[in-house]
Amino acid sequence: MNSQPINPPRPALKPRPYDSIAVIGAGAWGSALATVARRAGRSVRLWGRDVSVIDDINRNSRNDRFLPGIDLAPGILATTDLATALDGAEAVLIVIPSVAIRQICAEIAPLILKGIPVAICAKGIEEGTGYLMGHIAAEVLGDHPVGVISGPTFADETALGHFTAATVAFNFSYNDRLSPMDSPAARVAVSMSTPSFRTYISDDLVGVEIGGAVKNVIAIACGMMTGAGFAKNTRAALITRGMDEMKQLAEALGGKRETVTGLSGAGDLTLTCSSDSSRNMSLGTQLGAGVVRDQCFDGKPVVVEGEHNAITVTDLARRLGVQMPICEAVRRVLHDGADLRDTFAHMWSSPIVSEPRAMMALSFDHPSGLSPVVRGDEVVS
């Protein structure tokens, strides 16, 4: 008698890529992601507002304003018309500063077909609402799967084809779990995969987004201490304890602590806190060296996401009752006029606690006897 296996092997499956991708935002990261998608064999339309940038991309396959000296993948169609960029798109990547996410989502909402997945490639928390970028997009766009692409990714290195890895995160519906190969996360991941750009998949949208938002603030802290003359011990401590702050905030919002140990958390944090190519690290370094904010970056109006995130991250943490002393220190220096050295000295002399805190509830005063430590609006003696 022929017998059939109780659990027959599943047929080999592969997600079907999205053939046409619209990239909204022609800055450095938008141009790099457009290049990745084009190298992966996708049809790519790239939208931006600056006519000179768009002309440069179409005529020369270059974006010398934001990625000087780097050849982009040929065949990218760049446009200043949003409807043209979105026409026929099967998936949309939004790659603009976090403060403009709500506005651009409202602009694209009437221009994309129902059900088209949208991946946010910006990192931050909205001021006032405390919303993550994915939550904003989901609220404004309505019936569209919304996810993020995040990880340790400098735009110039990605565009040059250096080995790079990133996480593609979407919330998984019931149907997505029944047919994961058909999920937006899997399909976006395979759509953006090239020999040099490796994607990983996550269903923890909150955990991935928190890592991306908080790491900017921790990078400013690392830069501040580096610029002030402190060494590698200090940076290692800030990175490690900063990751713990990420974990606590992610968990408070329903994310997973282990997500923060992945590419979008530990990976992105390590990269951003280790190079002056990061605008966040660079700003902190200049401030730590005594350069006044208006004179940083030679007086140029450079957007530094962590500067805004220092407020939004700590506002959200205070609402949730999460203690984030490093992010609070950055906020006080950047926005409250606090002295940099005094602020970090006070943080270093805060009560001694156990690590990890789950092991035991232990806390006692630091013996240095420095002045009280401020945590948010609370003064701890």
Task: Please identify which of the residues 215, 247, 256, 300 carries the catalytic annotation.
Answer: 215
Q: What's the rounded Cα separation, in Å, for the pair 298 and 274? A: 21
Lookup result for tokens 């992610």: 250
Active site residue 256: no
Within a 13 Å sphere around the CA of 209, how many CA atoms are in the beta-carbon half?
30
Q: Give every strand in the sheet of 146-150, ordered side by side.
A: 77-79, 43-47, 20-24, 91-94, 118-120, 146-150, 164-170, 197-202
Q: Check: CB of residue 380 under 8 Å from CB of residue 350.
A: yes
Q: Which residues are catalytic?
A: 215
